[in-house]
A and B are shown apart, each in its own frame.
Chain A
């Protein structure tokens, strides 16, 4: 809650003026410059706190608490996974020429969108894809974004058989939890927006390969939140354990 330079200087000017105008009367009062209105005894977003040990005024929820409307009990919608009826189902993996492990089957991933696939959803997905993914994956998903050109490891293209055959739940899982050298985007992108991005990636794959038997089916009769309802505004820096930093 300390004053910044600018406010400080302005205060000096102002107090000098006041002093000049009503010097005698005010001299006793104005000895201490007051700034209670500029800097009120409350925290602005991201303001530094002297009270909490880590210096953050934005606190995480206490462990085990759930905000109203954020129970997230719909597993398919919030994780992209279901319990495979066959408990012994294993992901098929192989090793590529560079010695990296390649996963090519995803037994627990959902295969259908848990929300209705509409044009609005795909448009929203395009918008979000261009904010969060394009810098690495490139405009059309070829893995040639600007940041990759500056030296970030190249992601795989979306337009090969392995990722064309991957179920939608896998894409959702990659965004939510990260994958190899790619970090998780779960804390930056809301669940409904993640599905929107997945729908857009599917649309990209289809546009490059219209004859493939890709389908954009959805279990639309599910009672999951609609994109509008689930895309609730996110409180700054108060959602879960992934928040680090950002204090001011």
Chain B
């Protein structure tokens, strides 16, 4: 009886077994990369807005403090968005006829809010709160990057769980003195590690176990 499989079939069988494992490995790796890619996390994607509002001009060039517009960032979960009236504090006088500010004036006239498109948007099963991070010395730029240099805001970080966790494990590597939280020119090595360790104690930052426990963020 003729043999169905020649001897070389052994090799084919071995190669296919190895390649299944390899393919699975490569596939898994590709998936982890894809899941972290900016295509899926939105990192670095510039979002267009109804008004060409520029943080670079307002914060970088004119030196307006974040809290002038994001008023509730120290006190509530949400950072707060400026009302149209806040824009009109200046733009009722300044560039009051500029055509690209017309949506602002229309919003003010008609009492209709401007609809900004979200840049950062966590899934709603995650609880995030700005005020505690501000109170414990996490700077805006640690999470949002150099906003004062952004003509259009983009996401500096992935906002994935692993990003939150890498800080919650070792907050002492990231915190800064409270007085520097809003300082966009601050660099992480402006404070040495010993001082940061002390800040962690002074600010009563809780243990790694507490901060990485699931119910801290999924409540």
Interface residues of A (CB under 8 A from B): 4-7, 9-10, 13, 17, 37-40, 42, 44-46, 48, 54-56, 130-132, 134-135, 146-147, 150-153, 181, 183, 185, 187-188, 233-237, 242-248
Contact indicator A38/B123 (Cβ below 8 Å):
yes
Known: A9-B39, A246-B81. A135 touches B63 (CB 8 A): yes
Known: A135-B64, A153-B93. A5 touches B42 (CB 8 A): yes
Interchain nearest-CB distance for A28 vs B (Å): 25
Task: List 10 additional A-B contacts (Cβ < 8 Å) besides A5-B42, A246-B83.
Answer: A40-B124, A135-B63, A146-B62, A147-B62, A150-B94, A183-B92, A185-B89, A233-B131, A236-B78, A244-B111
Interchain nearest-CB distance for A94 vs B (Å): 24
- State the 7 A-B residue pairs at the shortest beta-carbon distance, nearest first: A245-B84, A233-B75, A45-B78, A245-B113, A247-B113, A6-B42, A38-B123
B198 at the A interface (CB under 8 A): no
B115 at the A interface (CB under 8 A): yes
* Cα–Cα distance between A187 and B88 once the two chains are bound (Å): 13
B186 at the A interface (CB under 8 A): no
Q: Which residues of A contact B65 (CB under 8 A)?
A: 130-132
B5 at the A interface (CB under 8 A): no
Q: Which residues of A contact B124 (CB under 8 A)?
A: 37-40, 42, 44
Contact indicator A235/B83 (Cβ below 8 Å):
no
Of all chain A residues, the one with the shortest Cβ separation from B64 is A135
Main secondary structure of the interface of B (DSSP, over half): loop
* Cα–Cα distance between A146 and B63 once the two chains are bound (Å): 7
The interface size of chain B toward A, counting residues with CB under 8 Å, comes to 49
Q: Which residues of B contact A134 (CB under 8 A)?
A: 63
Interchain nearest-CB distance for A15 vs B (Å): 13
Interface residues of B (CB under 8 A from A): 31, 34-35, 39-42, 45, 61-65, 67-68, 71-72, 75-78, 80-86, 88-90, 92-95, 107-108, 111-116, 118, 121, 123-125, 131
* Cα–Cα distance between A146 and B113 once the two chains are bound (Å): 28
* Cα–Cα distance between A152 and B64 once the two chains are bound (Å): 14
Known: A55-B112, A147-B62. A132 touches B72 (CB 8 A): no
Known: A38-B123, A245-B113, A246-B81. A234 touches B40 (CB 8 A): no
Contact indicator B76/A233 (Cβ below 8 Å):
yes
